[in-house]
Structure formats: C-alpha cells, structure tokens
Structure 1
Amino acid sequence: MNLEFDADTEEMRAMVVAFAQRELAGRGDTARAPFDTAGFRRRWRRAGEQGLVGGAVPADYGGSGLDAVASSAVMEALGYGGEDTGFAFSVAAHLFAALMPVVEFGTEEQKREWLPGLCSGELIAAHGITEPEAGSDALSLRTRAERKGDEYVLHGSKCFTTNAPVADVFVVQAATEPSGGFFGLTAFVVEAGTPGLSVGAPYDKVGLRGSPTADVHFDGCVVPAGRVLGTEGAGATVFSASMKWERVCLFAIYLGAMRRVLESTIAYAKEREQFGSPIGGFQAVGHRIVDMTLRLESARLLLYKAARGLARGDQDEIAPALAKLAVSEAAVQLGLDAVQVRGGLGMVGGEAETFLRDALPARVFSGTSEIQKNNVARALGLGSNRRPNRRR
C-alpha cells in the first residue's frame, strides 16, 4: 500500500500551498462586517486561474481531470496554505457538490454550457438540498417541481445553501413525485436571476465565516425540461454520487488545516515557558499533542483509503462514511486541544480559536456524525427489521 504521492501531485501540492499563502491570506472571520462580495469574487477568479475550482472536471470541459486522490491532495494543500477555511470550503462545495453532478449526469450540451465558466472561476455554483424540515431526511423534501409541458415549475425553499449569496448557477433537488421515495426526486440546473428564484441574507455563522451561506426560495420558478440532470426521478442518485465526492475530497481541507494548527501548537509548546521550562516538556501537554498527532494521522489514512476507492470506482459505502466521521470528529477535538495548550491565549482571536469554530460545522454538514454511523451500520447489515434466526 503506497502512501506516497507521485512527483506531479507533490509538485501540485507545493504550488497550491504557495498560492494560498500568497493570494488567500487572511482568515475571513470578521463576523459582523458586511460580506465582501467583490473581494470574494476576486479571490475566486485567482483560484480559478490556478485550477482549484474545477480540478476534478475533465480537461475537455475546462478542468484538470484530477481523480479523487489528486483532488484530495489539492484540497489538503489548500487547507494547509490558507487560513480562511471558509473560502476553501466554498471552493470544495462548488466543485464536488455542484460541478461533479453535472460531469457525471449532465448531457453533453449541459456540460459544454456550464462547466467551462464554472472551472475558470468566472461562475460560482451552489447546491440546494437542505430544507427546514428535511436535513438528514433528504427524501422528505417539500420543494416541489411540477411538470408543465416542456417546463417544470418549482415552489419551496432551501436553507444552509453554501455559496448562495454569490452563486450564478444552482444545482437544486426537488420532489417531482412527493410519494415516490428514492425515485421521487429530480435534480435541476437553475440560473441565478431566473424569475421566481430569490436568495436571502447571508447567515452570521459560528464558523466558516469566509463561506457565504443563505436561504434560497422558489416561487413559481420556471425551469426548462432541458435543465434536468440525468432523468426525472434520478435526483437521489445524483445526490448520493455527489456526497461520495464531498464526504471524501472536501474533508481533505480539514486535514491540511489540522496539520497547520498542529505545527503551530508544537511551536508554541516549545517556546512558551512556565515554571522555568517550555510547556512542551510537561507530560500533560506532550501527551495532548501526541493525541492530536494520532487523530490527524489516523483520519488521514481513512480519508485517502476512501479516495483511492472512489478513484477506482468502488461502490463502497463504508469508506466515505468512516472518512467523513473520522476527519470531522478529529478536527473538533484537535481544535479543542489546540485551544487548551494555548491557555488564555486560546480564548481570544487567533489560529486555534478560529480553527475550532471552523471545525464545529464539520460534524453537521454533509451528513451528521450520527448519520455517518447509521450509514456504516446499514452497510454492515445492521438495523434490519427481520428477526434473526435463533438456534434452539
């Protein structure tokens, strides 16, 4: 099992780290300041020029054609090089939750129309799935899409939609057959500015503040039938496929950010003195940092195992769920430990405090930690209503 990257991937990682440190400086965590849309788009265009916002898209449509392993490596480098985890999160959500469904399920015409601009950084995409009454229960969407001739009319609302305040294109899930279960959902590509589509005010979030998030409303929004992704009733399949990319490659951002925070925590423990000695020499502090290292390295192994499976086309449901679960839980605990090592300094604005806030949402989005455990249990054959055969 080769855990090393090839020379091209290592070179690409180094370039992304240098780019992020140079062009994406700043944490983007000004909670009460108005969101700087123009500044966000400037950085987005730079990221597009670097190939970051379309890396996994085939080269024929403007991307770099990276597989899941290389895509994860790039996201890890982005998380390490840039302190604004929210911006990196927006890039990954755009790529894995919105562009990859177009790549895998779009028609040739849809790919040619949308992907080049979305890969170049000219356009930004958002994925609308979560609703006030349908978070973990994605098959209970209340947003409806009614077929009328060659058009669909959408009614309903989405919440917690990443990139919504700046999005040019929305990939939207709606119920075309409310009682159809898995086959009752349909995915659509909807342009911003379409009559009947409106976006609410950006959220003031506890973390990932550099990622603009808002509600999206559909009030008689008319979408041509040619904007359906896949076929009518295939929305759940589209969503499941995008989640595999997101739960693996997006979470590599946290690996990079954890590495950056771990390194700064080690440096702090070597320099900070109490009772005449560096605090890193105290067993309680040293063991805590060892635990931080263990969590990071363990989570990294699970994520790249899942990435390799995704790159091979495996249909494994367990590896992506375990990777997402391990990385998100490790990130929160590592953030808590980084704050604890810094003591009082960890309570004020700084790298550790910011990372902890950015890590907290990781346990919730893309399926909560509890949902990931449910997914793994189901894949293991647990939770069946069938009675086990009992030997007498």
Structure 2
Amino acid sequence: MTDDLFHLTAPWARQLNADTRALDTAGAFPHDKWKILQETGLLRTHFAPEFGGAGHGVTATMRALEGLGYVCHDAGLSFSASTQIVSVGVPLQRFGSQELKERHLPRITSGEAITAHAITEETGGSDAMNLAATARRDGDHYVVSGGKMFITNAPVADLFLLYVRTGTPGPFGLTTLLVEAGTPGLTTGPAMDKIGLRTSPVGTLRFDELRVPVSQRLGQEGTGFLVLDHVMKREVLFGFSITLGEMTRRLEQTITYARNRHQFGQPIGSYQAVSHKIADMKMRVETARKWLADTGAKVEAGHDASLDLAATKTIVSEANVQTALDAVQIHGGRGVLTEHGIERDLRNSIAGTIYSGTSEIQRNRIATLLGL
C-alpha cells in the first residue's frame, strides 16, 4: 500500500513539471498545476472518507508526500500542497465542530479551497506563545486586531486558521479561529518575493476589528497550544517527507552525472574528491529517511516524540542544504546555470532551516528536553 502511495502522483509528472523554470523566475503560483494536484488525489490522503478523504494515517501520508517530492521538480508547489493538508484540514478534522467539518473539509480535501494558517508575526518569529495579535470576546463574536507575516499560501488562500491571543502570554492564552477570505476586517497583502520556493506564495495578513463568530473557534478558548502542537508534528513530518523525496531524486541525478561526465579521460565519479561527496550525500539521505520513518511511527502510535521531532526537523533540513551544495559543486558549471535546475534546488533548500522553527530553536528544545 505504501509503495502505491509513493507512486500516487507519478502519472502526472509531466504536467507537474511543465514550465517549472519560467514559473520559478516569475514567482507565480501555478494555478493550472494546482488543478493537476487535485486530480491526483494527494490532497485527500490524510482525511476521513466521510469528508471526501482517503483515510490514511500519518506514515502512509508521509510516503505519498515523499513520492510527490521525488516526482515533482516544482518544490514551491509541493510546499503549498503540504501546507494545504496541515494548515487547516488537519486541525479542523481533529478539533473542529461537526458543523465546521461538514462545511469546510470536503472543499479542503478536494483542493477547491486553498488554505493557510496564520501563526508567525513580524516581531514574534518562532515565539508562538507570545503573540501580539489579539482577540477579545464581544458577545457571540471575537474581535481580532493585529497582523501576521510570512504566511504561506496567504495571497491565494480561501480559508485561514488564525492563532491569536485571548489571554495572558503563554500556552493557555492561545486560541484558534477559522476565517474565510473576504471577511470584512481581514486584509491580505500581495505575494512577497523570496530566494526559493518561489511558486509557493507567502504574504501578510492584517486584522482591523475583524469579527469572527465564536462558532468558528477550533477547540476551547485558550487551547490553541494543543492545536498548534498537533499541527506542528504533522507539518514537520509531512513537509520534510517531501524534502526526502527531493533529496533522493537529487542524489540519483548526481550519481548519473558523475558516471557520465568525463574529465581527464575518466568519469568524474572515479575521483575520490567526487565519490566521497556522493557517499556523504547518500549517508545524509538515508539518515534523513530513518529519522523521518522512526519519528513518524512514534507520532502515529501516540508516543511522546518531542525530542525526535526537533532532531528530525534539524537533521533533514540541514541535510537538504548540504546535499544541494554538494550537487552544485559536482555539477560544476551546469550546477550554477538556471536551465538545469540544480541551483534552484539549493535556493529551495535554504528556508528549510528557518520555517517550522529554526535550527537554533530546535537545538534549544533538544537541550531543554535533556535537562540542560
């Protein structure tokens, strides 16, 4: 079954990879490719059949997303797809009311409604427990003020999950509210230009006396930390499963090049300086694979995986950057030309050590869990 899921998107490879270079240059969200993703059924993988989903668990969904990363050269599109699954659909399925699930989940699982979650703030960064955006209760509504920054999918999203402060700073002051695009008081900024993942639009949100019905809250007031914890586990596992697929493809591509490219009368792979780089790439890929598999199994079994998640995120994101650097070096002149896509892999890898909690934050978590 997991092998079938790995190959789920393979029949659409040609369409998914069309015009990747031009779209990357333009920094444009590929709406036509999003329709292809809808056709593949990938966005349905992790959701209950009653809402149009395929009913697969965490590790099976990871395998499907790894397959997407392997097949699809448009890393921005893949990143937006992962965000689509985890940002609103995952927490809505776990914490939402039956009415909210019935109204929104079928549109999310089909990909008809593009989603985003609004956590990060310009001054807050990874400090999600001390948000500046606030929501005060006014009868049957919350009135939300403040703003959000670096929100993936924001410029094209139809549905947002807002993380806002309803109490004092800390884990019990966080609440999550579901809001549709176009709601009065919600302003979405234009897509922001960035180094990589350029087809995955990122933007800002502004809340000016935004009124949200209490019925659109996920979970109870003050339980937003539980929602965030549930989401972030899957954001790391799903997003970096895509990364694993990309790294595997990059390794295979580099091995093929090292076998076929000749210098001084022999394949460059026969030179130890090159072969050792490739050996290191292989070890990094397989280390990433093992951490993702073991951590995914732990989360799926309901075991405490706090340290494992921090380590997995750090190991995989940093391995992605290093293997991309190695691929550029081994490909030489081709590695720095935009037409071959090698330099694009490097640009796409950079943000992985920042989003979903920086490498520094992850090391802090590990140290704390070790009692330091």
Matched, 1:240 2:234: no
The 8 Å contact of residues 28 and 209 in structure 1, kept in 2 or not, is answered as: no
Matched, 1:381 2:361: no
**Aligned-partner Cα distance in 2 for 1:231–1:55:** 27
Greater mean alpha carbon deviation, residues 332-341 or residues 58-67: 58-67
1:102 is aligned to: 92
**Aligned-partner Cα distance in 2 for 1:379–1:130:** 24
Instruction: Give the one of 267, 275, 280 matched to 1:286.
Output: 275
User: Residue 92 of structure 1 aligns to which amino acid in structure 2?
Assistant: S
2:65 is aligned to: 75
2:52 is aligned to: 62
Instruction: Give the one of 152, 177, 181 matched to 1:192.
Output: 181
2:5 is aligned to: 12
Instruction: Give the one of 65, 71, 80 matched to 1:90.
Output: 80
2:251 is aligned to: 262
**Aligned-partner Cα distance in 2 for 1:264–1:201:** 36
Please list, as runs of the form range in 1=range in 2, the aligned pairs for 1:309-388 lying within 5 A after superposition. Answer: 309-349=298-338, 350-382=340-372
Q: Secondary structure at the match of 1:373?
A: helix
1:386 is aligned to: none
Q: 1:51-94 CA deviation, whole Å, 9 max, x = no partner?
A: 21231111111111111111110110000000001100001011
Q: CA deviation at 1:31?
A: 5.1
Q: 1:170-203 CA deviation, whole Å, 9 max, x = no partner?
A: 01100111x2411111001000000011111101
User: Residue 127 of structure 2 aligns to which amino acid in structure 1?
Assistant: D
Greater mean alpha carbon deviation, residues 372-381 or residues 184-193: 372-381
User: Residue 35 of structure 1 aligns to which amino acid in structure 2?
Assistant: A
The 8 Å contact of residues 25 and 83 in structure 1, kept in 2 or not, is answered as: no
Matched, 1:272 2:261: yes
Q: Percent identity?
A: 42
Q: Secondary structure at the match of 1:73?
A: helix
Q: Secondary structure at the match of 1:333?
A: helix
Greater mean alpha carbon deviation, residues 305-314 or residues 284-293: 305-314
User: Residue 10 of structure 1 aligns to which amino acid in structure 2?
Assistant: D
Q: CA deviation at 1:219?
A: 0.8
1:4 is aligned to: none
2:26 is aligned to: 33
Matched, 1:214 2:203: yes
Q: How many residue pairs align between the two structures?
A: 371
User: Residue 168 of structure 1 aligns to which amino acid in structure 2?
Assistant: D
Q: Which structure 1 residue ranges, 4+ long, deviate > 6 Å from structure 2?
A: none
Q: Secondary structure at the match of 2:43?
A: coil
Q: 1:105-149 CA deviation, whole Å, 9 max, x = no partner?
A: 111111111100011111110010000111111111111111100
Residues 22 and 32 (structure 1 numbering): CA distance in 2 closer, same or farther, change over 3 Å? closer
Instruction: Give the one of 156, 166, 169 matched to 1:166.
Output: 156
1:3 is aligned to: none
User: Residue 365 of structure 2 aligns to which amino acid in structure 1?
Assistant: N
**Aligned-partner Cα distance in 1 for 2:331–2:24:** 23
**Aligned-partner Cα distance in 2 for 1:32–1:86:** 12
User: Residue 120 of structure 1 aligns to which amino acid in structure 2?
Assistant: S
**Aligned-partner Cα distance in 1 for 2:358–2:88:** 20
**Aligned-partner Cα distance in 2 for 1:244–1:61:** 22
**Aligned-partner Cα distance in 1 for 2:25–2:239:** 27
Q: CA deviation at 1:363?
A: 0.3
Q: CA deviation at 1:214?
A: 0.6
Q: CA deviation at 1:364?
A: 0.3
Q: CA deviation at 1:315?
A: 2.5
**Could you state the TM-score of these two structures normalised by the residue count of structure 2?**
0.96
Q: Secondary structure at the match of 2:190?
A: coil
**Aligned-partner Cα distance in 1 for 2:20–2:368:** 39
Q: 1:197-241 CA deviation, whole Å, 9 max, x = no partner?
A: 111110111000110111111111110000101011011111111
The 8 Å contact of residues 31 and 205 in structure 1, kept in 2 or not, is answered as: no
Matched, 1:134 2:124: yes
The 8 Å contact of residues 175 and 186 in structure 1, kept in 2 or not, is answered as: yes
Residues 49 and 270 (structure 1 numbering): CA distance in 2 closer, same or farther, change over 3 Å? same
Q: CA deviation at 1:19?
A: 2.3
Residues 108 and 160 (structure 1 numbering): CA distance in 2 closer, same or farther, change over 3 Å? same
**Aligned-partner Cα distance in 2 for 1:259–1:152:** 46
1:123 is aligned to: 113
**Aligned-partner Cα distance in 2 for 1:315–1:105:** 20
Q: Secondary structure at the match of 1:219?
A: strand
Q: 1:140-175 CA deviation, whole Å, 9 max, x = no partner?
A: 111111110000111111111000011000011001
The 8 Å contact of residues 46 and 121 in structure 1, kept in 2 or not, is answered as: no
Residues 28 and 109 (structure 1 numbering): CA distance in 2 closer, same or farther, change over 3 Å? farther
The 8 Å contact of residues 144 and 210 in structure 2, kept in 1 or not, is answered as: yes
Residues 26 and 322 (structure 1 numbering): CA distance in 2 closer, same or farther, change over 3 Å? farther
Structure 1 residue ranges without an equivalent (≥5):
1-7, 383-392
Structure 2 residue ranges without an equivalent (≥5):
none
Q: CA deviation at 1:292?
A: 0.3
1:146 is aligned to: 136
**Aligned-partner Cα distance in 1 for 2:64–2:228:** 23
**Could you state the TM-score of these two structures normalised by the residue count of structure 1?**
0.92
The 8 Å contact of residues 249 and 307 in structure 1, kept in 2 or not, is answered as: no
1:156 is aligned to: 146
User: Residue 152 of structure 1 aligns to which amino acid in structure 2?
Assistant: Y
Q: Secondary structure at the match of 1:15?
A: coil
